[in-house]
Amino acid sequence: MLIIVAPGQGAQTPGFLQPWLEDPEFAARLDWLSAVAGIDLAHYGTHADAEAIRDTAIAQPLLVGAGLVAALSLFPHPADAFRRIGAVAGHSVGEITAAAGARAITAEQAMVLVRERGKAMAHAAAATPTGMSAVLGGDRDEVIAAIAAHGLTAANVNAAGQVVAAGTLEQLASFADQPPARARVRPLQVAGAFHTEHMAPAVGVLGTLARAVSTHDPRTALISNADGQVVHDGREVVRRIVSQVSNPVRWDLCMETMQDLGVTGLLEMPPAGTLVGIAKRALPGVETFALSTPDQLDEARIFVERHGTPSPIDTSPTWRMLVAPAKGTFARNDAMEGDSLQPTAEIGTITSLRDRTPVVAPYGGVIVEWLVEDGDLVSPGQPLIRLHPKAVVS
């Protein structure tokens, strides 16, 4: 199975778009997204220095725009992608790239959301001197406990031995003076304590804007930063994009879900390298591809063909599919085929070693077909039930 991932803030480097912009079609598409975002993405991706693209309000639209246009270079006929991609995921702001790639939102909606996200997070970061530090090595549980003991937040849990602490500069300094056993603390060049309570004002701004965003259910499995669950409700995708601004990124759980799905190949969109580096350590046996320059496109397409399998999610204009958000044992409720469900009705639960997850029908509808039985073991993204929307079935 092929999984496409999109990097988050910090992956950008000066000039990374220079070779891509030699393609007139790429340049034209990037100009269009620049117009939507109100930012000259070509300038910042080619001529701006590291300090300029470190600015949150610049870095975030630059990353999302670059990822979306590069995806169109990799898949000139976008519909073909859904016959090859098993799942998508994005780290932090990369989740907006993934959501647009999965067609839960449009590219234009993604650029407006990321523009306002970047501005709001930059404004929130300016209110209090805050930052982030990488904690490398050590026992994960001990590291997270030490972070909490200093009043900090484990803002990114990327993998074993790679956790990011976030909070005020005073808290981070104290933490660095008393690092966890067998761990190194390295300050990160970021403008604030992202994915913590310090970003709460940005959540309010983005939440208000998100209410106007029209959505579709993703065309392929989308793995959420929040908990590694597969999300197949477009409204929930946007809700999570909003809430993740002040909540930790659990990339470790995303990779657990990738393993549950049976990933064999992981391809990172540009500016690539960060997530591939994590995967090489955390996903042994999984082949990786860091797409960094356009001269790699032919090789990347071969990689896609080698690992590509259709997503288990199918879509139709006349019925909706509900899929498993996580791995575990499915317990069905007593609803039968032909029964009508109200919006947000619970159809069952999935129980795993980690937790118990309710499965709800966000739109309601009439049960067309159960695809699993009570007590079945299910995997993330596995279809559970088909529903006709009530507007279709009278």
pLDDT tens string, the chain, 394 residues long: the values are 999 999 999 899 999 999 999 999 999 999 999 999 999 999 999 999 999 999 999 999 999 999 999 999 999 887 778 789 999 999 999 999 999 999 999 999 999 999 999 999 999 999 999 999 999 999 999 999 999 999 999 999 999 889 999 999 999 999 999 999 999 999 987 889 999 999 999 999 999 999 999 999 898 999 999 999 999 899 999 999 999 999 999 999 999 999 999 999 999 999 999 999 999 999 999 999 999 999 999 999 999 999 998 766 655 445 678 899 999 999 999 888 888 999 889 999 999 988 899 999 888 888 988 999 999 999 999 999 988 876 433 3
Measured CA to CA in angstroms, residue 308 lies from 27, 52, 84, 148, 320 at distances of: 28, 37, 4, 41, 24
For the full predicted model, state whether its pTM sits above 0.85: yes
Cα–Cα distance between 232 and 217 in angstroms, integer? 6
Q: What is the model's pLDDT at position 393? A: 35
3-state secondary structure of 256: helix
Cα atoms in the Cβ-side hemisphere of radius 13 Å centred on 214: 2
Hey, what domains does the chain have and what are their CATH numbers?
2-124+197-307 (3.40.366.10), 126-187 (3.30.70.250), 320-388 (2.40.50.100)
Which among 34, 43, 39 has a CA at the least distance from the CA of 107? 34
Contacts of 204 (CB under 8 A, 6+ apart): none
Q: What is the model's pLDDT at position 390? A: 65
Return the active site residues: 92, 195
